[in-house]
Structure 1
């Protein structure tokens, strides 16, 4: 039996990327690649608790295989979900409006300068890097819009505080309100504009808020390590519990999007060695749409000085990427689809690259790329339904 711990990407509420969705797609691929036509599969999903005093809760989806009768089915795979987004975004959501706006202003100044530096460096101006620049610029624009969305609430809070503090001096209060009246007018314009947009795009505000919040929290994770210990610690606890209870032949970590970064941070941590179970129990890693190259460009040095133990159970790292998706990585300095590697101090961890493209990238123009980035980034590796074609059939071993 194979046990899989799956770490989803972000945008969890927008795309079907939960652990159970992944298990359904994995089962469908198993069925399609199995040469035995009589083999059939079905799923069973249940709650699963782990950690100290079972404080964490997740889901485990078991995949069963049978030939003629379900009564004689065999459990061939378990898929556990390690959901980490709450650890990434909780601290930011608890901040007050002023603190959020200051954080947004700091990010905009700092990352705009990073973007300018990237554009100035000529070696980054190949086609793929240009698309990454556009993608990064889009994130900055969304953050700026997010800041504008919060501005009316800040003005309202400020006026409310003034009414409480200067309630006994109406003349002073009137003078202050008169001086800030342009900001109040600007706030009203923003409110009106958002109401107009909501008429045609009802989910616009939530979409911008969610995407901007996740990007700000990712930046905090990558630059200051906020939430990293909680996220990697929760994964370590899940690996510990699974290794104690499952009688598996292999234990694998599968990551999608930012979930791949969490896997790398756990297996190859900065300055420290991974926990004993991660070193001795994890035999395979599969990363899908890993943003390694994107992060290495805009957060230079993040993956440097990682530690690898002398002995580890890891046998293979398979990386599924797409040339069309700018967040995908091939762990190489060029765009060739040969195998790559991950630098760990003076060693190189080999990575088996698996190219998965559904569109001929050579036939696409610049504007076609931009349209695909907007519509299909992080959705290019599988369709909407369980039976849709997906990338997993390329790496499944029965």
Structure 2
């Protein structure tokens, strides 16, 4: 009998909201209850070690019977966050913000190019908005530097330093004080408009910087793919007659794509034999393909004939991909670059379509919608319902 195994790969930053495979499995279990009336389900979880110090949380969805329990689905969590961000997280907040600001400046030419030359990218203005928010968030801390320098003017050592600078630069300290007068109100405005600004700054700086290194230089990509391969190897040895489904959100979609459609090498034997389904939620493919234009080139496409692909997207989400040439709902028109595999598009919205007015712009509405494919509480509605319905329709799992 075929065993259905899901590998859950979360997005960057989901750990901040304590999102994990247990909550995802809880939502999956709740949707099974809606499908099969009169049937009871429960969860069983454990931590396994699959190679050296690598661990994975395993959650089994079990159907409760009078005499025994039947495992209907098993989720394995693939953790990559520490591998990707461990070096960057040790840096202080000022350095993180400085690096974030420099990274955005580095992308500015490509950003402006996409505003005027869309190249089939359907949301360049939303992306420009997202990058602009990144600039504002990073500047929220950088703007405090003039204020800090002006503050330390009360100390004798600082006075001597500033006097020396004044001798070299003339009126520089005066200009600095003028800057201070408008930077402090602007910083205050940003801190008021953007809730939890310090946390957002730290999280975005870490994620964006590490993601940029991963996408530009392949930093940690081999290590991450290797660890995922080890987890699949563990599943092949301990879950006989199993078929693997990748459940991926946001940056996790890129991790799975890199594993299944690698650059310059073949997918592993286990990946080719066991993988049946790829599920991407809030997939940032179009965003990455537009601003890292070489990233998806020269991929090995042997898996395109071996798996099905379900893609959940939202028109309101500035980062998700609908694999069409415009921001409309409908069937996918393309897949990954030269691949003939097209996803089965599933649209999921939690609010009516919104125009990008000034209020939506300053409140980061397009970015906020990226995390609304499910509520933080597991008993709310989520996109898992339409995913599960499609899995049943495709006969990937059976509704008995």
TM-score (norm 2): 0.80
Equivalent positions of 1:119-158 (< 5 A) are: 119-121=115-117, 128-148=123-143
- Shift in Å at residue 259 of structure 1? 0.4
- Shift in Å at residue 295 of structure 1? 1.3
Task: Say whether the 8 Å CA contact 2:236–2:242 is kept in structure 1.
Answer: no
Give the unaligned 5+ runs of structure 1: 157-162, 164-169
Using a 3 Å threshold, how does the CA distance of structure 1 residues 145 and 42 change in structure 2: closer, same or farther?
same
SS at match of 1:293: helix
Is 1:49 the counterpart of 2:45? The answer is no
Is 1:339 the counterpart of 2:341? The answer is no
Cα distance in structure 2, aligned partners of 1:46 and 1:150? 48
Instruction: Deviation per CA, 1:313-347: give whole Å up to 9, x if none.
Output: 833111011111121111222334113432454x4
Task: Say whether the 8 Å CA contact 1:281–1:313 is kept in structure 2.
Answer: no
CA-atom RMSD, angstroms? Answer: 3.7
Cα distance in structure 1, aligned partners of 2:146 and 2:210? 20
Equivalent positions of 1:1-398 (< 5 A) are: 1-34=3-36, 37-51=37-51, 53=52, 55-67=53-65, 69=66, 71-95=67-91, 103-104=99-100, 106-121=102-117, 128-148=123-143, 176=164, 182=173, 203-309=196-302, 314-334=306-326, 335-343=328-336, 345=338, 347-361=339-353, 364-367=354-357, 370=361, 373=365, 376-396=368-388, 397=392, 398=398
- Shift in Å at residue 231 of structure 1? 1.6
Cα distance in structure 2, aligned partners of 1:317 and 1:343? 11
Cα distance in structure 2, aligned partners of 1:26 and 1:244? 25
Cα distance in structure 2, aligned partners of 1:337 and 1:286? 17
Using a 3 Å threshold, how does the CA distance of structure 1 residues 60 and 276 change in structure 2: closer, same or farther?
same
- Shift in Å at residue 254 of structure 1? 0.8
Cα distance in structure 2, aligned partners of 1:238 and 1:117? 41
Cα distance in structure 1, aligned partners of 2:87 and 2:149? 19
- Shift in Å at residue 150 of structure 1? 7.9
Using a 3 Å threshold, how does the CA distance of structure 1 residues 172 and 207 change in structure 2: closer, same or farther?
closer
SS at match of 2:236: helix
Using a 3 Å threshold, how does the CA distance of structure 1 residues 8 and 377 change in structure 2: closer, same or farther?
same
- Shift in Å at residue 48 of structure 1? 1.7
SS at match of 2:7: strand
Cα distance in structure 2, aligned partners of 1:323 and 1:171? 55
Q: Which moved more, 1:198-207 or 1:111-120?
A: 198-207
- Shift in Å at residue 38 of structure 1? 2.4
Matched length: 377
